[in-house]
Amino acid sequence: MMDSIFRKANAQTLDYIFPQHCVLCGSIVSAVSWSPAPLCASCERTLEFIKGPRCKHCGRELISELEYCMDCRNLQTSLTHIIPIFSFRGNAASLIHAFKTGQRISLARYFAYRISMLDELVGNISTSICLVPVPPRPEKLKLGQFDQVGTIAESLIEYGYHYKKMLLRLSGSSQQKLLDRASRLKNASLSYTLLSEKKTMERIILLDDVCTTGATLEACARLLMQNGNEVAGAIVLAAD
């Protein structure tokens, strides 16, 4: 118990020591719309935002393709409309890394701000949309690490959204990192379950941090859909 408290405090130390210092350049952050998140306006402009046109499935930027990127053209999936905010590289990747490792948890405020600015969401604020965060590995929480996606969902309340925790990640489920696409989907389907059989009448938008092949989101969407829910899409911080 003491050990987990210590780890938690230790992981969050940078937010305590440098509450107003930009996580990327270290300068003091003056008034920004996402205050009090530790990111200055100049560094924000260097982030690798994904600009349209986007692939209708994975949300990555299209170069010369139409509607779907080469990877998604022949995919058969239950989930469509994944919207990543950033490409997972450069300063955007450093920012997400500082957040995921728990060093700068207050960045949740910035990510919530950016999500609320998505064209795909603006104008859609209503009780008919419900955000459903992809849950963390239970082992992670036992180690005293925080539920980063849940924290962003919580921060989005301030922007008029609401969320429901509808999924559970099973303990002992293996990590996705080293698997190929087919194995990832199989592994992901075995890793999640529904928290309850109760469905929602609202349209669900899944929320996650980094999307690589989309297998986790696909598995979560299938679970929710099989139970009679409508899943309208997913928002992720970045596409790797």
Contact set with Zn ion (CB under 5 A): 22, 24-25, 40, 43, 55, 57-58, 69, 72
The span from the CA of 144 to the CA of 11, in Å, is: 9
**Nearer to Zn ion (CB atom), residue 58 or residue 224:** 58
Smaller CB separation from Zn ion, 22 or 149: 22
> Closest approach of Cβ 58 to Zn ion, in Å?
3
Q: Beta-carbon neighbour count of residue 31 at 10 Å? A: 6
Using DSSP's 3-state secondary structure scheme, residue 164 falls into coil
Three-state DSSP class for residue 69:
coil
- Smallest gap from Cβ 68 to Zn ion, in A, equals 6
Tokens 């919207």 sit at which residue? 83
Q: How far is the CB of 32 from Zn ion (least distance, A)?
A: 10
Q: Is the CB of 24 or the CB of 95 nearer to Zn ion?
A: 24
Decide whether 74 or 175 has the Cβ nearer to Zn ion. Answer: 74
Buried b (16+ CB within 10 A) or exposed e, 203-216: ebbbbbbbbebbbb
The least distance separating Zn ion from the CB of residue 111, rounded to whole angstroms, comes to: 16
Nearer to Zn ion, 22 or 156 (CB): 22
Which segments of 100-155 are extended strands (E)? 129-133
Residue 153: strand, helix, or coil:
helix
**What is the CB neighbour count within 10 angstroms for residue 12?**
17
Closest approach, Cβ 145 to Zn ion, in A, equals 26
